[in-house]
Each structure stands twice: as C-alpha cells, then as structure tokens.
Amino acid sequence: MNTKINTNSVAVVTGGARGIGFGSAVALAAKGFHLALVDLREEAVNEAAEKLRATGAQAEAFVADVSDFAQAQDVAKEIVGQDRSINVLLNNAGIGSSNGLLEISEAEWDRTIDINLKSCFNWSRAVVPSMLDSGWGRIISISSIASYSGGTVSKLAYAASKSGILGMTRSLAKELGPSITVNAICPGTISTAMNPKTDAEGISLGRLGTPEDIGQVVAFLASSDPNFITGQALTVDGFQYIT
Ligand code: NDP
C-alpha cells in the first residue's frame, strides 16, 4: 500500500466483471485499493466481487449501464456517501463493432460511441468531484491500438470511439492537473470473451496479451509512483505489427 492509498480509497472499475476489467481489479486490489466493480449483469458482477473478497480484498459490486449519465452519478454518490473517496477510475467497459460505413446502422454507431466513449465522460464527471475533494486522483481509460491503426477493416465506430478516448485524455489531463493524472492504455489483442482470436501472428512477443498484462500497467498508472505522467497513451501490445 502506498502513502496515497488508505482503506477509504476506492478504485472504480467499469466493466469489472470479467476480462481486462477484472484482471485490472485484481492488480488494483493487490495495491491496497477498495474495489467498486461496475457492470451490466448483476450475477456476473456479484460473482466477480465475491472472487476478489475471497482473496482478502475489499470489493463491492454495482449494476449500471455505463452509457447512462444518471446511473454514473447515482453509483458515485452511493460510494462517496459511505465516507470514502474515489481516487481511481478505470474506464474499461466497452463493446466491439464490426460494420463499415455502408453497413452500420445509426443505432449501432450511437450505441458504440455511447458505451465506449460517452461512458468515459459520464464516469469522469461523476467521480472527479471526489478526487478534487481528496486532492488526488488517477483516471485511466482503456482505448485500443485501433485508435491509431483504424483497426481491422470495418471497425469504423469502434476505431472512432477509441480515438475519441485519446482526445478526451489529453484535454482532461490539461484541465485536471496537478492533482489528477489522466492517461489511456492502448491494448493490442488480449485474450478475453470480446476477442476470440487465438493466432499470435504479427505480435513480436509471440503470444496474445492477457488481462493480467494490462492489469499490471493499470496498477502502475494508478499508484502514486508515476507523478509526472499525464495526458499519455501507453501501448501495451507485445509490439503488434499486424492488427
Ligand atoms: P469483455 O467483453 O471481456 O468485458 C467487457 C465487460 O464490460 C463485460 O463484463 C461487459 O458486460 C461490460 N459491459 C459492456 N457494456 C457495458 C455497459 N453498457 N455498461 C456496463 N458494463 C458493460 O471485454 P474486454 O475485457 O476484452 O475489453 C475491455 C476493454 O478493453 C474494452 O473497452 C475493449 O474495447 C478494450 N480492448 C480490448 C481488447 C481485446 O483484445 N480484448 C483490445 C483493445 C482494447 P457483458 O458481459 O454483460 O457484456
């Protein structure tokens, strides 16, 4: 546990029930944070929190749709109302989208942008007042290498949403310094339910990434050690030259 973290210090992880979110929650719990996992399905998020508690961590589950502004406000109020501060936000929940310009419906475009990008606005807005009150905060958002490569063909809305996260990260870093740092992580192909790919061709380190690979970097950025890193996008992809 570092000096900035005490038992009242909460790390909020959206999409924390599985995949990269859960892997990151495990790494944050090892740093001493109290975890607030936010996800869509009650059973899944409760099970994830229970798994963390079974390791001795403090963890709670909250059901919310990250694309809903009011739900983010409600959950943040509930956490802070218990005399705690939210010091870390991991904007992780996201969905894929695989239709190109001439196939994608307006509804799919809106849904992808709302869940992948607007969610980062919703949750930053909900938790930053608590970070400012306590004088210290870390916002980390999961973008993707698709933010700059454009992703595989027809990832239009996905790539746009993930690029949007980078612009938001830089803008928020300017607005929220010096007490809050704001960074993004751009994972390559990570083995999760979202990504059924098993082939490691084109990845220099010869394997797909794991949620733990991303969790390690999340835990580093969430700690008090990287005091002079903000507004950055850190690629964690084993150097993936074919996307
Ligand atoms: P998963 O699908 O394994 O996990 C995502 C979690 O987010 C699920 O629990 C899902 O719930 C939840 N979720 C989805 N929509 C919402 C919503 N509207 N409100 C609340 N929770 C929601 O994905 P990954 O772990 O693979 O991905 C996590 C993040 O990493 C995403 O932002 C993704 O774009 C990004 N990423 C992933 C890569 C990869 O290769 N896996 C590569 C680069 C970036 P439910 O189970 O109900 O759907």
CATH, residue 28:
3.40.50.720
Nearest alpha carbon, ligand 1 atom 10: 15
Q: Left, alpha or beta for 233 (phi > 0: left; psi -120 to 50: alpha)? A: beta
- Give me ligand 1 centre to Cα 41, in Å: 12
4 part of a folded domain? no
Where does residue 56 fall: left (phi above 0), alpha (psi -120 to 50 degrees), or beta otherwise?
Answer: left
Residues catalogued as catalytic: 158
- Its domain, for residue 26, covers 9-236
Q: Do the beta carbons of residue 119 and residue 81 sit within 8 Å?
A: no
Q: Is any atom of ligand 1 closer than 6 Å to the C-beta of 63?
A: no
Q: Please state, rounded to an integer, the average pLDDT across all residues of the chain.
A: 95
Q: Which amino acid is at 57?
A: A
> Does the residue 241 lie in any domain?
no
Q: Say if ligand 1 is within 6 A of residue 141 CB.
A: no
Q: Is residue 103 part of a domain?
A: yes
pLDDT in tens, 121-161: 999 999 999 999 999 999 999 999 999 999 988 899 999 99
How many domains does the chain divide into? 1
- Residue-wise pLDDT for 206-233, tens only, equals 999 999 999 999 999 999 999 999 999 9
**Domain membership flag for residue 224:** yes
